[in-house]
Structure formats: C-alpha cells, structure tokens
C-alpha cells in the first residue's frame, strides 16, 4: 500500500469535551450538590440525590467525582474561592499595614464563621482520618495558602519600611490569622455558639489582634500612634 493510498484518520471534532472536563457540566453538578447538601446535610445526602438534583446520570456524576466526599470538597473550594478574593483584595485597598491587615482580618473572620464554612470544616475534620488526602487538600488550599499570601504581604511591608524586620514571615502570618480568630471560631466549630459573631464582636477581637501583632512587628512610629481600626 502506497503512502497516498493509506486510509486517512478522521480528526476528532475540535469542540469535543474530554470526559470529566466539561466546565458547564461540572458547574451543573456542583449546583445540584449545593442544593442537596444545603437541604439534607452531608450525612443524609447521597450520590443518587445529587445526580437527580443536577439532572445528570449517576454514571456521569462518577466521571467527575469519585465519591461524595470529593464532591463536597470541590464544592467547598468553589465557595471558598469566591469568598477569599474579597478578603485578599482588602490587603491592597489601603497602603497602611494596620488598616489593611485589620480589613483582611474582619473579612476572614466573617468568611470562616459563616454557616457553610463552619459545616465544611466539621465535615472535613470528620473524614480526614480515613481519607487523609481530603484533609490535606483542604488545608493546603485553605489555611496554608492563605498564610502564604499573608506572609508575602508582610515581606512587602517590611521591604517598604512599614513593619519591623520579621525573621519568620510564615510563622508571623499564622500568628496573625490565629489571633483574628481567637475566641470566635473554635466555639463555632464545636457548636458551643450556634450563630456567627456580630460585627461588634469581630471588630473587638480583630482590633485586639492588631494591637498584639503590631506590638511585636510594628515600627516605633506605629506603636506611638496606632489606634484601633475603625469598622
């Protein structure tokens, strides 16, 4: 058979979706999952329920997500991504590090104490022992990523002379994040407090967090003039 007589392979259509990679179908599934998890909770929800709510077959559902736990984590990531953009944008809205960090702190506390975020943390912690990859992914894409971004921000502030030298920016970032959540987030996780903190409670805790943080990392002129950030 000559080269010219060889049968030609018909090229695949350019717009053909790879299985499990259609963003519209993924969005459709996540919307259905959000409805089911919100209405029934994680434990009562089933993949059958989610497939029905998303108007897809169960086979299609498993092409995109291997189980309910991974589907829930994907939903968490979507919701968290939408919320955290506003929090990190707050860092760039003010050149003053005290006000910028305080703005971020308030956004952070609101975000992680909302009903969905609290429920998500409880569920991930509950499955992390038997499915450690889910716990690791949740941590790396959430707290660890956030601390890294804050650490880079602190390094910029130090370079601009707006903060004192920080030997360990990653540790300082974690300290700041923990201070902002102090007395607010842990009671929510254990359901000791069933409602999100008020704006007054958030402002009080974040203001105190800033006072402690700047006592350690602020430059002298800031320590002499710093006052609690306004709401």
Q: What's the pLDDT tens digit per position in 17-71? A: 455 679 999 999 999 999 998 888 888 999 999 999 999 999 999 999 999 988 9
What average pLDDT score do residues 152-168 get?
95
CATH of domain 19-65: 1.10.10.60
CA 84 to the chain's CA centroid:
6
pLDDT of 172-206, one tens digit each? 999 999 999 999 999 999 999 999 999 999 999 99
**Tally of CB atoms within 10 A around 30:** 20
CA 152 to the chain's CA centroid:
17
Tokens of 123: 């569920």
Angle at the Cα of 115 (from 142 to 231), degrees rounded to 5? Answer: 80
pLDDT at 102: 94
CATH of domain 75-225: 1.10.357.10
Alpha carbon dihedral 65, 127, 88, 150, in 10-degree steps, equals -130
Asked if residue 208 has pLDDT above 80, the reply is yes
**Tally of CB atoms within 10 A around 53:** 20
The ranges of the chain annotated as CATH 1.10.357.10 are: 75-225
What average pLDDT score do residues 112-118 get?
90
pLDDT at 225: 47
Asked if residue 227 has pLDDT above 60, the reply is no
Tokens of 140: 């790396």
């Amino acid at each position: 058979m000559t080269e010219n007589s060889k049968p030609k392979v018909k090229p695949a259509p350019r717009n053909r979706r790879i299985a499990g990679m259609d963003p519209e179908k993924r969005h459709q599934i996540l919307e259905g999952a959000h409805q089911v998890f919100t209405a029934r909770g994680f434990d009562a929800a089933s993949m059958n329920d989610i497939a029905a709510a998303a108007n897809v077959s169960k086979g299609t559902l498993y092409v995109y997500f291997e189980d309910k736990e991974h589907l829930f984590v994907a939903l968490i990531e979507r919701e968290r991504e939408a919320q955290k953009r506003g929090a990190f944008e707050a860092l760039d809205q003010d050149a003053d590090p005290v006000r910028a960090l305080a703005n971020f702190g308030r956004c952070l506390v609101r975000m992680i104490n909302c009903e969905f975020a609290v429920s998500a943390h409880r569920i991930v912690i509950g499955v992390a022992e038997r499915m450690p990859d889910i716990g690791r992914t949740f941590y790396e894409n959430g707290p660890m990523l956030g601390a890294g971004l804050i650490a880079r921000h602190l390094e910029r502030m130090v370079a601009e002379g707006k903060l004192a030298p920080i030997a360990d920016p990653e540790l300082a970032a974690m300290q700041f994040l923990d201070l902002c959540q102090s007395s607010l987030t842990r009671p929510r996780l254990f359901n000791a407090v069933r409602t999100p903190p008020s704006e007054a409670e958030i402002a009080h805790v974040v203001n105190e967090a800033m006072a402690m943080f700047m006592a350690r990392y602020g430059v002298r002129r800031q320590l002499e003039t710093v006052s609690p950030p306004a709401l």
